[in-house]
Structure formats: C-alpha cells, structure tokens
C-alpha cells in the first residue's frame, strides 16, 4: 500500500486482500497430525477481507456472513460497473 500511495496510484487503484478459509489440525489414532478442511468451526469458515481504493467508503463494514464470493460485487461496484444477476439472483454485498 505504501508503494501505491508513494506512486500516487491510490486514486486509480482498487486493492482487495483476502484469505482462504483455514483448517484445523486433528490428531489421528496413530499420533500423526493432519489438517482438516471441511468443518464448520470459526477457524475453518472465517476469512480476512480488506478493501481499499477509489469507490470504497472509508471504514465501511459488511454486516453478517462474509465469504470470498463478495469480492466480485465489491470490485464491480467500486469500479462503477453494474453488478449482474447470476442464475436470476442478485449478487449481494
């Protein structure tokens, strides 16, 4: 972000930072540890999402459940592009 600001590109940029949801370690009967990636615990379903740039209201928040699927409508909205319907459903923020 510092480099983008130093180059004065911030007003023409949209930066989206996100993570994949995590997994949890599980110890098997034989003592080995494996990563389980299919549960519903907070560690397995939470994602980090941060957005900065032109078209994004500073300190805005998305209320409710969040998934990586919100990246597309966020990017389109910030770029002034109409958010399309997919399978006749609104893509919601």
Angle, vertex CA 69, rays to CA 67 and CA 84, nearest 5: 145
Q: What is the pTM of this model?
A: 0.62
26-83, pLDDT tens digit by residue? 777 788 877 766 667 776 677 788 888 877 888 888 777 777 678 888 888 888 888 8
Q: How far apart are CA 81 and CA 28, in angstroms?
A: 49
Angle, vertex CA 40, rays to CA 84 and CA 88, nearest 5: 20
Q: In the chain, where are the structural domains located?
A: 2-20+46-90
Reference 49, options 62, 32, 36; nearest CA is 62
């Amino acid at each position: 972000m510092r480099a983008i600001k130093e180059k004065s590109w911030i007003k023409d940029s949209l930066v989206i930072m996100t993570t994949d949801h995590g997994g949890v370690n599980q110890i098997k009967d034989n003592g080995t540890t494996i990563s389980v990636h299919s549960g519903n615990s907070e560690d397995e379903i939470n994602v980090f999402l941060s957005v900065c740039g032109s078209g994004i209201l500073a300190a805005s928040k998305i209320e409710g459940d969040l998934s990586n699927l919100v990246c597309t409508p966020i990017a389109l909205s910030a770029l002034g592009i109409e958010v399309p319907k997919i399978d006749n459903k609104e893509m919601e923020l």
